[in-house]
Structure 1
Amino acid sequence: MSNHDILALGAESPLVLIKQLARQIKPKVMAKLEYMNPACSHYYRVASAIILDAEQRNLIHPGMTLVDWTYGDSGIALAMAGLRKGYNLLLVAPDKISREKQELLKALGAETVITPSAALPGEPRSCMNVAESLVKKISNAFFANMYENPIGMEVHRQFTSREIFEQTDGAVTHVFVPMVSGAMISGIGSFFKQKKPSVRIIGVEPEGSIYSGLFREGTPGKTGFYELEEIGAVAPSGLWDSSFIDDIVQVSDYDAFNCGRELLRAESVFAGGSSGAVMAAVLRAGRHYTEDDCVVALMNDFGGFYLSKMYRDEWMKAKGLYRKAKSALDQITAEDILLLKGSKDLIFAYPENTLAEVFEMMKQSDVSQLPIVSYGTPIGSISENRILSILIENDEAMNSKVVGFMEQPFAVCQPGATISDLSSKLQESASGVLIALSDGRLQLLTKSDLIDALTHKQG
């Protein structure tokens, strides 16, 4: 049955395959774009559910003021859900939230109080304490408590989790979740521990957040400043339940922001830094997974809220976080091309082989050129064209050693060489480029291999 409510609880968010960024790891990686909804975050369903629940319990009615503290996204969702139903919005946010979020809250008509990011929970100037104080001072005010409201956990248990399971046809093996409070990860974890207990639930937080220490040692980890928004905490959530969680991993601001920028360029996923942190954690952990694994990464924040921050080179440079973005071609490496081509033993000749022997090798292996190797080092090369020109001049040369007729050796590159680098080398040496593997072996790449890689990427 159709549902025409703009903030409908049943509206699904897309699940998309990550191809380019995940090309060097074996598992299938899927990004669940929780920011693709009217409120541009995973809070849109939570906000509607909290308001609906409070109305049904006669705790609120239009004309009242909804109060909460926010990193921006939860406040935007609450404002969108509340203002259209006749509620006033008063939100308290730390000063590090982006200009775009502040401007959107202003456009929505929500009143915003900005507090120092350095103020910790319990301090009078912290956004949590200020919000709780305002609720007591304002008549007809209701504290929405978006981060700690158990309804949020229930929304993720009923809707987000079910979508992940159904959109992967039950094949999901790992779910990576950004952590602010315990609502999302506990809701998703409780669903899968019942529905499919083998699914591993991994929380992601910034360096300087407390959950990793809480998970491993039972006490909150050491806090520190981080630039990331919509992820991390300096105090434990009341919804924290470690029995639903299999691991907590930390990601630096640097890795999170740059992975977020790469998501946009490589995958057209326009997400924020929190989502970048989750994907960075997936790509790091995915090196230890298998081709049978299906990993889902929760993308919870919208990139459009960070045009003045992580997507602005000047801001990234000023914060010491800037990394030059790779072009589409630079993202394809020799290692990628070899994976696509498949591993085969390199066919090569020794200096003492005769031209007849080398030509027979070429016919047997169906290749048109060979490197000539001495004691594991390429010293030259020979091609069908070269052999043909030799025989035209001297038809008795077939029994001569190849060392006397060899051409320049192929260029040698490392597995990390980009397709642009390889193409340049092939312009210098038209036949091929040798790739020196870490185990000492050599592999040959040709122009045809590069073309195959490019057409495969486009497909």
Structure 2
Amino acid sequence: MDYYNNILETIGNTPMVKLNKITSDVPALVLAKVESFNPGNSIKDRMALKMVEDAEKSGLLKPGGTIIECTSGNTGMGIALAAVVKGYKCIFTSSDKQSKEKFDILRAMGAEVIVCPTNVTPDDPRSYYSVAEKLSKEIPNSFWANQYDNHSNTVAHYESTGPEIWEQTEGKITHLVVGVGTGGTISGTGKYLKEKNPNIKIWGVDTYGSVFKKYHETGEFDEKEIYPYITEGIGEDILPKNVDFGVIDYFEKVSDKDAAVLARRLAKEEGLFMGYSAGSAIGGVLQLKDKLTKDDVVVVILHDHGSRYVGKIYNDDWMRDRGFLESDFTIADLIRRKDAEPFISIEVSDTVKKAMQMMKESDISQMPVMENNEIVGSINESQVLSFILENPVNNADKSVKEIMGKPFPIVDSQLSARELNKYISKDVPAVVSKSNTGDFHIVTQYDLIQAL
């Protein structure tokens, strides 16, 4: 019978997948090492298990003990898997910029999660580094994994990730591109590959707000480089001991926006539903394409799965709120953002006075005018106000037909919002769209401004 003794035995041996559309402008062959195939859906399973097993061998982790770790989520998941199988408790500290999905997954695995503020210095007692260290000193029979400085992190990738890539490319790899956080992946994998072929280039991907690139190029730890960023899983405001700068040939910074957009493109163009840092890694490849030739074989590591970011980079509203998506949304998207507000209209035979009351009660500035369930005109507050001021007496029975204007343009629900400027103007404040079910919806200038 073909089976594994436990889930930990399935870690590693992840597939290599050729990228096609997203790297169509890159002259080299680009291969993705898809680490979401690990049981914890990230590359961190490799080093998490290694840290736990090495701690057991050294006596730092004893039966019934508690594993403590500061994590952005993925290392915690790997440790949680090991803890479930081996019978340990887990307490994880994390920063409040991480996705809610990560916290929920860790708790689902039986771990306790303590969320700490992001915008504090590493030595601040509130930081997730400091809280983890403090807990490890206070809780009996506990082990702080400390992935940033624990050399088992690097060794795990030297022993597994590096050899896998070498064998899968038959030694033809020329470039390795990796997002850098704790440094274990790029340092361990890079060290192994350079021992096999010193000419292989190791490129690290950094993010704006992180210290790695400048430190690598100048040797200066510049605190002015440190500022909040949104990208998860890469970049640091410290220098972890696992980052071997001597192994890394070059650092490239990729913006929060580019990383998010490229992660979404990976899903839509390659069928690879990956995490935020995967977008960063692809961004590094695309930004450095002029350094590549048709004879190069590039391996880019895609660190984790997209399921941990569905409330962030895969959520259109989250992306738009941060300016990461431009006006690529449709009329249907605008209607959905209105939370299914009722379609308010007035009949052609109704009075101007009723129109005024309806606008006041519904806090609207314009309405379509209907007859036999068809839009025959429009009316706005300026028309109503002008009519009442010009006819202060005996205006109650006048119908809106006497003052209505032309009907609002009817547009297709799949029309791009960017095309609305062809319809909406000073004289045409709204458009109407009709759904497949026959329901009318109105989209106004104000709706568009809010969305933008």
Asked if TM exceeds 0.5, the reply is yes
User: 2-side partners of 1:273 and 1:323: how far apart?
Assistant: 19
Instruction: Tell me, yes or no, if the aligned pair for 1:204 and 1:277 is still in contact at 8 Å.
Output: yes
SS in 1 for 2:13: coil
Instruction: Tell me, yes or no, if the aligned pair for 2:72 and 2:98 is still in contact at 8 Å.
Output: yes
Alignment match of 2:299 (pick from 296, 301, 308)? 296
User: 2-side partners of 1:248 and 1:262: how far apart?
Assistant: 23
Over the matched positions of the two proteins, sequence identity in percent amounts to 35
Label 1:325 to 1:243 Cα distance change in 2 as closer, same or farther (>3 A).
farther
Aligned AA (1:24): D
Does residue 91 in structure 1 map to residue 92 in structure 2?
yes
User: 2-side partners of 1:35 and 1:117: how far apart?
Assistant: 26
1:344 aligns with none
User: 2-side partners of 1:325 and 1:79: how far apart?
Assistant: 40
Instruction: Tell me, yes or no, if the aligned pair for 1:46 and 1:151 is still in contact at 8 Å.
Output: yes
Aligned AA (2:193): F
SS in 1 for 2:7: coil
Distance apart, 1:3 and its partner CA? 5.2
1:159 aligns with 160
Label 1:35 to 1:324 Cα distance change in 2 as closer, same or farther (>3 A).
farther
Q: Which one is further off, 144-153 or 131-140?
A: 144-153
1:31 aligns with 32
User: 1-side partners of 2:233 and 2:153: how far apart?
Assistant: 15
Distance apart, 1:325 and its partner CA? 7.1
Instruction: Tell me, yes or no, if the aligned pair for 1:212 and 1:220 is still in contact at 8 Å.
Output: no
Distance apart, 1:295 and its partner CA? 0.6
Give the paired residue count.
326
1:228 aligns with 231
SS in 1 for 2:43: coil
User: 1-side partners of 2:74 and 2:290: how far apart?
Assistant: 32
Label 1:323 to 1:192 Cα distance change in 2 as closer, same or farther (>3 A).
farther
Runs of 4+ in 1 over 3 A off after TM superposition: 1-5, 323-326
Does residue 144 in structure 1 map to residue 145 in structure 2?
yes
Distance apart, 1:185 and its partner CA? 1.3
SS in 2 for 1:67: strand
Distance apart, 1:227 and its partner CA? 0.5
1:171 aligns with 172
1:276 aligns with 279
Alignment RMSD (CA, Å): 1.7
Instruction: Tell me, yes or no, if the aligned pair for 1:202 and 1:247 is still in contact at 8 Å.
Output: yes
User: 2-side partners of 1:242 and 1:126: how far apart?
Assistant: 25
Distance apart, 1:76 and its partner CA? 1.1
User: 2-side partners of 1:165 and 1:121: how far apart?
Assistant: 36
The 5 Å alignment of 1:185-334 reads 185-221=186-222, 222-323=225-326
Distance apart, 1:8 and its partner CA? 2.5
Aligned AA (1:209): S
TM-score normalised by L of structure 2: 0.70
User: 2-side partners of 1:288 and 1:197: how far apart?
Assistant: 18
1:77 aligns with 78
Distance apart, 1:10 and its partner CA? 6.2
User: 2-side partners of 1:92 and 1:307: how far apart?
Assistant: 22
1:132 aligns with 133
Instruction: Tell me, yes or no, if the aligned pair for 1:39 and 1:76 is still in contact at 8 Å.
Output: yes
CA displacement 1:178-234 (0-9 Å, x = unmatched): 101221111122112211111100000111111001100101241111111111100
SS in 2 for 1:197: coil
Distance apart, 1:324 and its partner CA? 6.5
User: 1-side partners of 2:169 and 2:5: how far apart?
Assistant: 26
Aligned AA (1:98): S
Unaligned runs of 5+ in 1: 327-459
Instruction: Tell me, yes or no, if the aligned pair for 1:9 and 1:45 is still in contact at 8 Å.
Output: no
1:113 aligns with 114
Instruction: Tell me, yes or no, if the aligned pair for 2:17 and 2:33 is still in contact at 8 Å.
Output: yes
TM-score normalised by L of structure 1: 0.69
Label 1:323 to 1:269 Cα distance change in 2 as closer, same or farther (>3 A).
farther
Distance apart, 1:45 and its partner CA? 1.6
User: 2-side partners of 1:12 and 1:86: how far apart?
Assistant: 25
Distance apart, 1:59 and its partner CA? 2.1
User: 2-side partners of 1:286 and 1:257: how far apart?
Assistant: 19
Unaligned runs of 5+ in 2: 330-452
Label 1:12 to 1:97 Cα distance change in 2 as closer, same or farther (>3 A).
same
